[in-house]
Structure 1
Amino acid sequence: MAWGEDHKQRSREKILTTAAGLFAREGFDKVSIDQVMQAAGMTRGAFYAHFSSKADLYAEAILYAANTAAENYLPAQRNTAEQREAFIAAYLSEEHCKGADMPCPLAFLVSDMANQDQGVRSTWSKVFEGLVQRLASSETQTPQEQQAALQRVVMMIGGVAVARALNDSDLASEVLQACRAGALAAPAGEARD
């Protein structure tokens, strides 16, 4: 009996969710297709019904994780200043830094990107640009609004990446707190010196 499209889509989402978490925690090189499929409760053979390669899965998992998190925390429609502030605070929280929910591929995989192929880097870049757009105050941005949004995003990604790398939890908390204060203080439309 052939599986329906609904089953195939659910299987694909399960693989993507599983892969996004594994890649975020371990990086591209330390995760195998077999590990992803075993953690998803499927066989390796099922993998090729959905993805052509591990790099293809990696790129799609990055996009899936980012889109899932963005829609849950900062919807493209009805994106208010209060929602953006809440998103920034949640992003720069200790819970997010520890990867409790769906980790953000921007911060969790930033050091992994320089060694990836152009397809994966292109996906990561699109996710980065998408976050900048969501954090901007309007769709038609002035150069100052664009710069302020870029500053926020770089502060957020860098803050989480640095805090995750530190072996001193108190210092990691200070880094997150400083980046949160800086990102929240950068007014939309005003570039900071």
Structure 2
Amino acid sequence: MPYPSTHKPQSREKILHSAAKLFSHQGFDNVSIDNVMADAGLTRGAFYSHFPDKSTLYAEAITYAAKNRFAKYTRGLDPQGRLAVLLSSYLSREHFEQDTNPCPLAFLATDVSHRDPLVRNTYTRVYQGMVKWLDKLSSNSPMREQCLAATALMIGGVAIARALDDSETVDELLAACLQQSLLLLEGGANANG
């Protein structure tokens, strides 16, 4: 009996979900194809009907994770409301302590720098998309430099917070990054002076 037409897309979705989760927390080198497929509840043989190799999966998992991470901020709120929700949710303990759906930009920043051009290009495109999206969400039409600085605060803040073992410092860091990101994106000329 043949599989329904939805089987292959659903299997691919399971693989990408598992890969995004595992890679985000363990990095490329510490996750095998077998790990991903076991987490997805599928056999290793099914992997190759979806992806030619682990590096391609890694690149696609970065895009998948980013789309899923930011999709919830695009529904039901005006652009300015989405920006406030995005920044406060992104720069929160809940974000970096969660098991699923973390931002690959923050969770994989150092890991990606050691990967092949396909992976680095994917990461670059996701990052560029985040910069453009912040610009669209801001009511103040910030300059590109302000969006670049805000994304650096967001991504860097989460990446550093994950490495710290002092709760008070983590909270201070996240709050400072949130305040400065809001100032950059909504403070206009005041952010520069």
TM-score of the aligned structures, taking structure 1 as reference length: 0.91
What percent of counterpart residues are identical? 44
2:143 matched to 1:145? yes
Map 1:165-176 → 2, pairs under 5 A: 165-176=163-174
**SS of residue in 2 equivalent to 1:115:** coil
Aligned residue number for residue 102 of structure 2:
103
Aligned residue number for residue 184 of structure 1:
182
What is the number of residues matched between the two proteins? 190
- Per the TM alignment, residue 7 of structure 1 is displaced from its structure 2 partner at its CA by 0.8
**SS of residue in 1 equivalent to 2:113:** helix
Question: Per-residue displacement from partner, 1:36-86 (whole Å, max 9, x unpaired)?
Answer: 0001111100000100000000000000010111211236x9761121111
- Per the TM alignment, residue 167 of structure 1 is displaced from its structure 2 partner at its CA by 1.7
Aligned residue number for residue 86 of structure 1:
85
Higher helix share: 2
For the 8 Å contact 2:80–2:137, the answer to whether it is kept is no
For the 8 Å contact 1:79–1:134, the answer to whether it is kept is no
**SS of residue in 1 equivalent to 2:51:** coil
RMSD over aligned Cα, in angstroms?
A: 2.1
Question: Per-residue displacement from partner, 1:134-159 (whole Å, max 9, x unpaired)?
Answer: 100479x97x5211111111100000
Map 1:56-135 → 2, pairs under 5 A: 56-74=56-74, 80-135=79-134
Unaligned 5+ runs, structure 1: none
Seen in structure 2, the aligned counterparts of structure 1 residues 145 and 138 have a Cα distance that, compared at 3 Å, is: farther
Distance 2:118 2:28 in 1: 14
Distance 2:18 2:137 in 1: 34
- Per the TM alignment, residue 101 of structure 1 is displaced from its structure 2 partner at its CA by 3.9
For the 8 Å contact 1:21–1:102, the answer to whether it is kept is yes
Map 1:14-29 → 2, pairs under 5 A: 14-29=14-29
**SS of residue in 2 equivalent to 1:136:** helix
Between stretches 173-182 and 19-28, larger displacement belongs to: 173-182
Unaligned 5+ runs, structure 2: none
In the alignment, residue 159 of structure 1 is paired with which amino acid?
A: G
Between stretches 123-132 and 100-109, larger displacement belongs to: 100-109
Question: Per-residue displacement from partner, 1:106-148 (whole Å, max 9, x unpaired)?
Answer: 0000010110000000000000001111100479x97x52111
For the 8 Å contact 1:74–1:134, the answer to whether it is kept is no
Distance 1:57 1:66 in 2: 14
In the alignment, residue 163 of structure 2 is paired with which amino acid?
A: A
